[in-house]
Amino acid sequence: MAVRDILQMGDPRLLRVAAAVTDFQSRQLHDTVQDLKDTLQAVRGAGLAAPQIGVDLAVVLFGFESIARYPTAPAVPVTILVNPVIQPLSNEQFEDWEGCLSVPGLRGLVPRYARIRYTGFDPNGEVIDRVADGFHARVVQHECDHLIGRLYPTRMVDLTKLGYTRVLFPELTDPSAD
C-alpha cells in the first residue's frame, strides 16, 4: 500500500470521534492497517492512529523493540488494535514526556494512568485483552485518545511543560526524532 501524509494539529479530522469497525473483512480496514504500518515504519514512530492518516476508523498501531525518539522506553509489543476500550486499574497517574507525529517538533509532560487494562480486536477479529503499565500503558492511552479527537496537549495540566524537542532533549540527535 502506501506511506500516507500525517495530518497535523489544526486539521479538523483530528478532532473527530472515529467510527467503530463493523466489518472485519472490509477492504478499507485491511488497506488502513497496511497504510498505518507503512507510514509508521517510514517515520520510525512509536504509534499511529487511523485518524492521523485521515481515515475515520477506530484503529491504532503501536509498538517497537527500541526507538530513537524515546531511547529509555522499554519494548512494547507491536500491535494493531481495533475498537479499543481502556479501563484504568487504579487512580494512580504518572507524568512523562510525550510527542506526537501530528504535533511535530514538540514534547509535553502528560499525566496518564499508570496501569490499565485494554481490550479490542486484532484486524482478523480476534480478541485482544491485556494489562499494561509504564510506557506501554502511556502509548496505548495516547493512541486511543486519537480515536476520540484528543491530542496530548489537551491532556496536559501545566502548559509551561510544553516545548521544542530540540531544546528539551538536545541529545536526541536523530533528525526524525521529533
Q: Smallest distance from the beta carbon of 125 to Ni ion, in angstroms?
A: 25
Nearer to Ni ion, 8 or 24 (CB): 8
Cell of 177: 526524532
How far apart CA 83 and CA 20 sit, in angstroms, is: 6
Q: Smallest distance from the beta carbon of 72 to Ni ion, in angstroms?
A: 19
Nearer to Ni ion, 61 or 100 (CB): 100
Nearest Cα to 55, choosing from 109, 14, 86, 101?
A: 14
How far apart CA 44 and CA 71 sit, in angstroms, is: 12
Q: Which residue is nearest to Ni ion (CB)?
A: 100
Q: Catalytic site residue 126? A: no
Nearer to Ni ion, 45 or 120 (CB): 45
Q: Say how many C-beta atoms besides its own lie within 10 A of residue 110's C-beta.
A: 25
Choosing from 98, 126, 143, 171, the catalytic residue is 143
* Footprint of Ni ion (CB under 5 A): 100
**Do 51 and 35 touch, CB atoms closer than 8 A?**
no
Nearer to Ni ion, 59 or 100 (CB): 100
Q: Say how many C-beta atoms besides its own lie within 10 A of residue 169's C-beta.
A: 17
User: 53-56 long-range contacts, Cβ below 8 Å, gap at least 24?
Assistant: 53/4, 53/5, 53/6, 53/7, 54/4, 54/5, 54/7, 54/13, 55/28, 56/13, 56/16, 56/18, 56/19
Please list the active-site residues.
Answer: 143
